[in-house]
Structure 1
């Protein structure tokens, strides 16, 4: 059996020009050599990664509603947040769940990890599921304003049709929940 060449279309970085260094993201422009020998530029957003939690309580999914400035509107999303430098994704998921919803969970299961926009960003989101939750107190960041709600699968599907839920991580969680309800496993 022959080995698949995963680098068949590799673009070799010739130079990197930092453009912006922010609190959450940075932007760089790379000059690359293409597989045909020509050069091109690539605008790349660097992100530390994030976690998201499909938290289930009494056959309902915990969601948060918050304003998203890039969209200029409120969104309904599952609890989520960025990874701190060197932070374990599982511990970050537990932290974000408690900070945003007040719920704690000792055990979580990784559903999947996915890249949000690999054409221009390296952000990866680790999606966990938690279903044995204990209610506690939320600990929002000082610049975080949100409402917590628990919704049924049918409500989640309706919110998707209305585009109140329209982000990839929450849509992925809704579909994972739907598969779980049909098959009994994630």
Structure 2
């Protein structure tokens, strides 16, 4: 018997069925001390907004710990912090999450892991958001492995004390650096 692979499918209209949560953007609840908003736009190769994308974030806590078996230190209890956010883009391609900034991990600069799902993609694309002007960025192994001219596609821009901007460009000039997993 020969078994053939099922062809990959692009992300489709089912995206809004079960993947979008009402509280998805709230990694921490409103009123949490230190809460910041990280958001931006998702655009395609022509620079047009992608209005049906989903941006997921996963991050360490403010102590630099992951609630994950690969982090033997384990996460500390941070009330209301769930480490995972999910935001659908709106009619202008905008997304945002409300979270606490992560601290550095051993040997790595503070960052958020990001997955983007959108029409036309056969699989999610994965990237990172690094914090602007953080001294550990200069020694982060992943960030320093990216050609210097493209590193800015991985570093958020501070708009206000409590707001960072991170735009995702799926293709073309200024394309975000995506990771091969």
User: Does TM-score exceed 0.5, indicating one fold?
Assistant: no
Pick the structure with greater CA Rg: 1
TM-score for both structures, normalised by structure 1: 0.24
Q: Which structure: greater helix fraction? A: 1
Q: Which structure: greater strand fraction? A: 1
Question: Larger relative CO (CA 8 A, sep 6+): 1 or 2?
Answer: 2
